[in-house]
Structure 1
Amino acid sequence: MLNDFSNRTKIVRAAMELAETEGWNAVSLHQIAERSGLSLADLRREFDSKSDILRAFQREVDSAVLDKMGAPDLDQPAKDRLLDAIMTRFEVMAPYRGALRRIMKDLGTRPGEAGQLLPSALAAQSWMMEAAGISSTGPVGRVKVAGLTGVYGYALRYWLEDESPGYEKTMALLDRKLTKGDEALSRMSSACGCVSKMICCWVPGKKRKDEESAPPPPPPSSASPDMNGAPSGY
């Protein structure tokens, strides 16, 4: 990742290097341009702001993960495929862990700038779901993306400090969080189904429509009992 020699790549790489040594809040656009060997005008042609540079880094990570993942094995449980996608993401970001640690710390004091990254964070997790063969579209897909973004953010902070071999502790934490999220989504889906049925029962228009579409009752049989219990026709 970030191995080509385009101006965009030079700028992103310089920004991450400076973030690790200087801290994200202290780094200026001028410093990033100087570190990348470009002019400030060159930097402006590529990016609007420091947040824009971070969004470009996120997109680079997305692409690298998708390249590594390939086609998902749909015979595996969906949770396991998603776990694999996120752990692959951590593997891709490992060379930049020091920079990310400083960036996360500094953005914690600047919620406005952190908020600018939320749309790209949601987009990143949408791509992770698609990499795992899980649809991220429609109302249910959007709920899953939002939930996964929260789980990922929690796991990311843990991963930044995890020194266990192969990030085993992060994997165990992520497995637990994804299991709980899957259970919560199942309960929500069941609740939505019950609510939908209740609405159908109580909405008068829906009830009349169902009654009108119901087939008429069969004609009475000659052996049907009359009001006194005797067969009709006697």
Structure 2
Amino acid sequence: MAAMSLAAKRDWGDVGLNDIAKEANLSIADLRREFVCKNEILRAFQTEVDAQVLARTKPAGPDDTVRDQVFEALMTRFEVMGPHKEALKRIAAYLRCRPGEASMFVCSRMVTQYWTLANAGAKLDGPTALVRIAGLSAVYGKAFSIWLDDDSPSLDKTMATLDRGLTNGERGMQSLEKACETVCGLVRGLKRNFGGKGKPDGKPSPESGPVPSSA
């Protein structure tokens, strides 16, 4: 991608839309037909990485857990982004100083992790779905920051950070799901108790007096 090629050599703030159009052999008008701004070009890059990761996903084995599949998917993501690491370092450094602009990528990162979890067969319904997606997004964000400076061939630091984050996240989700089950059980019990009190049982109450005989 032309934008990544330029970002690998120059600060992202110094890369203009005219520069990207020229690098891609496009007119600025053609570039505008495809993208609204530079941030949208970055989101398009994210989408392309998503697609490549999903395409490389291997069928789960009989002993593979959801956690195993998520771990493999995120490590595959780092592999796909490997050729663009220098560009991503510069872009990350630029966005780190501009939290308002960086916040524009929160939704696209959540979408990425939604697809990661969905492809792994994770449960994505119920009250904990959003927490699961947001949690994985945070785990990935931490691993991504380590990956940017991890130059080892086997990415040991990145793998360790990701493994630790997934383990802690899994424990947290288990505790949260148990808490939700407890609360839901209490709510159901309260509904049964209070709902039963409002139903007539066929017996007159002391305050109602004798039941009049029919005429």
- TM-score, length-normalised on structure 2? 0.86
Moved more, 31-40 or 110-119: 110-119
Cα deviation for residue 211 of structure 1 reads 7.3
The CA deviation at 1:166 is 1.6
Deviation at 1:57, TM superposition (A): 0.3
- 1:184: which partner in 2? 172
What is the match of residue 183 of structure 2?
195
Matched, 1:173 2:152: no
* Structure 1 moving runs of 4+ over 4 Å: 210-213
The residue that corresponds to 2:4 in the other structure is 16
Match of 2:53 among 58, 65, 74: 65
1:26-77 Cα distance to aligned partner (Å, 9 max, x none): 1111111111111100100000000100010000000000110043335312
Whichever residue aligns with residue 120 of structure 2, its letter is A
Q: Contact between 2:142 and 2:161, CA under 8 Å: does it hold in 1?
A: no
Asked if 1:206 is matched to 2:192, the reply is yes
Q: Where do 1:89-168 residues align within 5 Å?
A: 89-168=77-156
For 2:161 and 2:84, how far apart are their aligned partners in 1?
21
In 2, Cα distance between equivalents of 1:154 and 1:50? 24
Q: Distance in 1 between matches of 2:82 and 2:93?
A: 17
Residue 34 in structure 1 maps to residue 22 in structure 2: yes
1:89 deviates by 0.5
| In 1, Cα distance between equivalents of 2:58 and 2:141 | 24
From the superposition, tell whether residues 137 and 20 of structure 1 become closer, same or farther in structure 2 (CA, over 3 Å).
farther
| 1:112-158 Cα distance to aligned partner (Å, 9 max, x none) | 22111111110011111122222434432221111000000000000
Give the deviation of 1:167 after TM superposition: 0.7
**Per-residue Cα deviation, 1:72-120 (whole angstroms, up to 9, x for no partner):** 3353122111100100110111000111111111001112221111111
- 1:125 alignment partner AA: Q
What SS does the aligned partner of 1:139 have? coil
User: 2:99 is aligned with what amino acid?
Assistant: P
Return the index of the structure with the highest Cα Rg.
Answer: 1
**Alpha-carbon deviation of 1:212?**
8.9
| 1:24–1:106 CA contact under 8 A, matched in 2 | yes
Query: Aligned partners of 1:122, 1:74: CA distance in 2, in Å?
Result: 28
Measured in 2, the distance between the counterparts of 1:206 and 1:139 equals: 22
Is the CA contact (8 Å cut-off) linking 1:85 and 1:128 kept in structure 2? yes
Q: Is the 8 A contact 1:64 1:92 kept in 2?
A: yes
Q: Aligned in 2, Cα 1:71/1:54: closer, same or farther, shift over 3 Å?
A: same
In structure 2, runs of 5+ residues without a counterpart are 200-215
* 1:35 partner letter: E
CA deviation string 1:206-233 (max 9, x = no partner)? 31446799xxxxxxxxxxxxxxxxxxxx
Q: Alignment length, in residue pairs?
A: 199
CA RMSD of aligned residues (A): 1.8
Percent of pairs identical after alignment? Answer: 43
